[in-house]
């Protein structure tokens, strides 16, 4: 028996005129929600702050959220992994952009 495995992200995106894979198309997308922004989760209405920006295995931009917007507390949360992660942009609504929260 032969088992064939493939990653869907490596398939060609039929909506891409250049013939790129889903992974290649996603890799060109940028994060539009800045670190420090207050966002609301679509399904729960919970409000949290963006503390990290990352990517999924298919290069989709993702966001990690926390209850803190204070820079020192945010860095402590990052070190201790006390954050919620892997949220896609379409599941978040920006409530307030940051004033001066730096990375």
Q: How many angstroms separate the CA atoms of 72 and 50, rounded?
A: 14
Query: Could you tell me which residue, 58 or 69, shows the higher pLDDT?
Result: 58
Measuring CA to CA, which residue among 64, 70, 59, 61 is closest to residue 39?
A: 64
Residue 80: is it exposed, middle or buried by C-beta count within 10 angstroms (0-12/13-18/19+)?
exposed
CB 50 within 8 A of CB 64: yes
Percent residues over pLDDT 90 in the chain = 50
How many Cα atoms occupy the beta-carbon half-sphere of 54 within 13 Å? 11
Measuring CA to CA, which residue among 33, 32, 30, 14 is closest to residue 22?
A: 14
Per-residue pLDDT tens for 23-63? 999 999 999 999 889 999 998 999 988 888 999 999 999 99
CB 31 within 8 A of CB 53: yes
CB 52 within 8 A of CB 39: no
Q: Where are the domains of the chain?
A: 33-96
């Amino acid at each position: 028996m032969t088992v064939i495995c493939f990653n869907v992200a490596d398939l060609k995106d039929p909506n891409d005129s250049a013939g790129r894979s889903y992974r290649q198309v996603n890799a060109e997308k940028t994060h539009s929600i800045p670190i420090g922004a207050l966002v609301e989760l679509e399904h729960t209405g919970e409000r949290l702050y963006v503390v990290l920006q990352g990517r999924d295995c298919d290069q989709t931009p993702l966001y990690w959220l926390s209850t803190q917007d204070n820079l020192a507390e945010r860095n402590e949360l990052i070190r201790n992994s006390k954050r919620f992660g892997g949220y896609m942009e379409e599941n978040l609504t920006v409530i307030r952009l940051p004033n001066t929260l730096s990375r």
